[in-house]
Amino acid sequence: MRLSGSEMVIEAFKNEGVKVVFGYPGGAIMNVYDEIYKQNYFKHILTRHEQAAIHAADGYARATGEVGVSIITSGPGFTNAVTGIATAYMDSVPMVILSGQVPITLIGTDAFQEIDAVGISRPCTKHNYLVKDISELPRILKEAFYIARSGRPGPVHVDLPKDISATMGEFFYPEEIKLKTYKPTYRGNARQIKKAAESIKHAKKPLLYVGGGVIASEASGLLRELSHTTSIPVVETLMARGSMEHNDPLLLGMVGMHGTYAANMAMSESDLIVALGARFDDRVTGKLSEFAKYAEIIHIDIDPSSIGKIVKINYPIVGDISEVLKELLPLLKDINPQATQSWLTQLDRYKALHPLKYEDSNLSIKPQWVIERIGELLGDQANITTDVGQHQMWSAQFYPFTRPRQFMTSGGLGTMGFGFPAAMGVKMGSPEKVSINITGDGSILMNIQELMTAVEKQIPVINVILNNNYLGMVRQWQTFFYDKRYSETDLSCQPDFVKLAESFGGVGFRCETKAEFDAALLKAVELGRVTMIDVKVDRLENVLPMVPSGGSLFNMMLEYKD
């Protein structure tokens, strides 16, 4: 059938099963928005900023595992979106971003609201396209969704010139895509898997090092089976929280700069590390020359470019985590689970020696208590989104996660302003759960305009602001490493968050006692409206343990005394 380019976009979204689109219109994308007005296949959420549109689609994708979709316009519309695109790229989130562009005839003339969107997005997308002919559009749209969700997921950008969006052409949507230069490997090499199984059987101090790839691959169930079958302990990266249940005795907690003592010591003393969908990020490895000095390493990852990029790998296996674990598990059925007993006993001593802790107080609210309390009151009922800073690390440390896709946070890019719009996307993707955004008084202001989106579209996100009137994590580094020279980190001049929420049509609470927080949280859940809970917390609380930048995992700061 003959359709305009804009009609083709709508039909492609229909064919891909898109349910929600987040976006912001403008001149170059207006033809597509005219078709959105006419359709009833999907819901469109008008955010109040393009960055927020990308973060919201990102949150939707993380919560559901489906491809998140955003539509934005050219020029400043696109440049506003770049931070969101880079955030999704760093964390391997499947997304399709459609941007408007000036007409083909005006490209390169410095036309109004023209920018080289494809050139800008190239470093922070899995792939990108500039549509130059209407005949290419159906194929490009199909490829975009295929590339975004297959292999190692990631954002794909399609730049659509305005004249192409109005041009008529034949619409034939391919049923399948075959790309000569892009063929992800899903099945791991059988010989390598057998070698890995043998090394696991002979290891005295094996460790499962779990990254976000386990969640992307829907492999949490297989991970838990592997750990329990072999009695091998597990450490999780920030992106993998929820892969194991928080109370599983084989879980040592988060690893890395703010990881647990037991997790970091396990990485340092292990003789075999099995890396599952993890990329050996610098926040995990610390000083590379001291990282896992006694361990052989098995690295299972669908992205071959990630294997061996940072550390030497003894057993590389390229493949989808789920597929590889299905092959690996039968080879480990005869393993002796008692073989790791002395190793587990040693790690239990580390757990007991330096557990995660803080000094609670009845005189002030400790931020760690707030996160624990949310867990006690809501637990599995809640999906947790965070911004970036101290509150992010405390959330990763202290929330009792029970399942994958329960924790959504900006890991690789560390994007302040991610939390609120992402939590809106999470709520749209998982409406049966309470969507909680744990944030700081610095981060929340970076996309505060989304209060209007949440009010208009009735998206009941609960923002819990751990308000210490500081850029907390930067202040912590200034305390530890800059002799308390608090350069531009004091946020004592802040708005009244309660009145701010109310001015947009939301609900606000201010909490200075534990009882007030309990009441506010339960009331917010009951009301089902967008809420700001402003919690006055201890200003100078620090995130511990901490591995100083460039330090070794086994040299952790476990306490700070003024």
SS3 state of residue 91: coil
Helix pair 514-527, 367-377: axis angle to 10 deg: 40
Q: Is residue 193 left, alpha or beta, with left meaning phi > 0 and alpha meaning psi from -120 to 50? A: alpha
Which CA distances in Å does 223 have to 88, 210, 226, 488?
24, 9, 5, 44
Name 180's Cβ contacts closer than 8 Å, sequence gap at least 6. none
Residue type for position 1: M
Q: Measuring CA to CA, which residue among 303, 317, 244, 266 is closest to residue 89? A: 303
> What is the distance between the alpha carbons of residues 195 and 328, in angstroms, rounded to a whole number?
10
Amino acid letter, 401 = F
Residue 473 catalytic?
Answer: yes
Q: Which one from 78, 95, 126, 162 is the annotated catalytic residue?
A: 162
Pairing of strands 20-23, 43-46: parallel
Token pair of 559, please?
């306490």
- Which amino acid is it at 406? Q
Q: Which residue is catalytic, options 11, 16, 50, 236?
A: 50
Residue 113: active-site member: yes
Q: Distance (Å, rounded) from C-alpha 23 to C-alpha 80?
A: 12
Catalytic, 541? Answer no
Could you say which of 112, 341, 499, 523 is catalytic?
112
- Hey, what are 167's tokens? 């041009």
Nearest to 197 by CA among 338, 333, 313: 333
Residue labelled with tokens 């034949």: 170
Q: Does residue 112 have an active-site annotation?
A: yes
Q: Report yes or no: 315 and 199 within 8 Å, Cβ to Cβ.
A: yes
CB distance 104 to 132 below 8 Å: yes
Of 254, 473, 546, 556, the active-site residue reads 473
Neighbours of 204 (CB within 10 A): 11
Tell me the residue type at 374: I
In sequence order, what are the beta bridge partners of 158?
98, 129
Instruction: Encode 135-180 in three state secondary structure.
Output: HHHHHHHHHHHHHHHCCCCCEEEEEEEHHHHHCEEECCCCCCCCEC
What is the Cα 383 distance to its own chain's centre? 13
- Our CA angle for 481, 482, 486, nearest 5°, is 125
Among residues 113, 192, 346, 449, which one is catalytic? 113
Catalytic sites, residue numbers: 50, 112-113, 162, 473
